[in-house]
Amino acid sequence: MPEQSRLVVKKLTPTIGAEISGADLTQPLESAVVREIEEILFDNQVVFFRNQPMTLEQQIRFGKYFGDLYIHPAAGKTTTPIGEGRPKPYASALEDHPEVIKIYADEKSVQAAGEEWHSDVMSEDKPPMGSILRIDELPSVGGDTLFASMYAAYEALSEPMKRFLEPFTAVQDGMKTYGVKSAFDNSRQYPRSEHPIVRTHPVTGRQSLFLSSAFTTRIVQLSPSESDALLKFLFDHVKNSLFQCRFRWEKDSVAFWDNRCTLHQAQWDYFPHRRVGYRVQIIGDKPFYRSGQ
């Protein structure tokens, strides 16, 4: 077996997260190594790599091993410059590489990307399958990211609650994150879709919860008051620390997570210090629910 395929896996928790060593992501990878990384991702939902000083081109190449790359609908779209009543945008697509999002926060920021629990762009009709983030610059302390297993969140529910949720769909509205609450241009139209609350993973067949306070606005089949009450319960439920792992970044660390079965939250506990990273995302599939898995 080639040396680059000798991967070592160290789990962060029994539920979610693993660090992978033995792969050099700055170099082309053999197909067997790519498939092995993919299998480790499916088993652990989010995987991490250390000491990967990738160029943008190398990060793009790594992302393309897993599918076509996604172009974000909102990043960097602002209408009012800094100093004229609008905050600095915290994410922007690179001009030469529109599939790459630069994510940053510094002393001029009034918010940071991903402060609220979410799955990336879950308001799309086909949300990104996965996201790959490399941190290039970080504060001396702080700036960790939390990841939560939505498999575990679903499995922790009682059997009657699982059955109760099965027929429900929810509206996922991009305006909730990219418009009203953010530095992005709120005159634009952002993705808005209706997806099952319980989602079946297309590869593993496992069921997970698919909703977040960042995007989910209402449950279609319920009255407004019923929807609000159930969503409040579920938003609180998915934040249970038993479902989580925490990743402490170092320069040139890389995280690769499966958006179909995880939520994540960036910790903005380092203000006014600076944190900079680059992210690519892989085009995904339309969420569905299939019983009997």
> For residue range 203-241, what is the model confidence (pLDDT) as tens digits?
999 999 999 999 999 999 999 999 999 999 999 999 999
Cis link prior to 127 (omega < 30° from 0)? Answer: no
Model confidence at 3: pLDDT above 70: no
The one catalytic residue in 120, 173, 199, 258 is: 120
Catalytic residue at 118? yes
What pLDDT shows up at residue 219?
98
What is the token pair recorded at 280? 């690519």
> For residue range 67-97, what is the model confidence (pLDDT) as tens digits?
999 987 755 554 433 334 445 556 677 878 8
- Structural domains in the chain? 3-282 (3.60.130.10)
In DSSP notation, 272-285 reads TS-EEEEEEEE---
Q: What is the DSSP letter of 87?
A: P
Catalytic residue at 72? no
Model confidence at 56: pLDDT above 70: yes
Strands 216-219 and 207-209: unpaired
Catalytic residue at 237? no
The one catalytic residue in 72, 195, 201, 264 is: 264
Mark out the alpha helices in the chain (DSSP H runs).
31-44, 56-64, 150-155, 159-165, 175-178, 224-237
Catalytic residue at 258? no
> For residue range 10-28, what is the model confidence (pLDDT) as tens digits?
999 999 999 999 999 999 9
What pLDDT shows up at residue 85?
44
What is the token pair recorded at 48? 């991490």
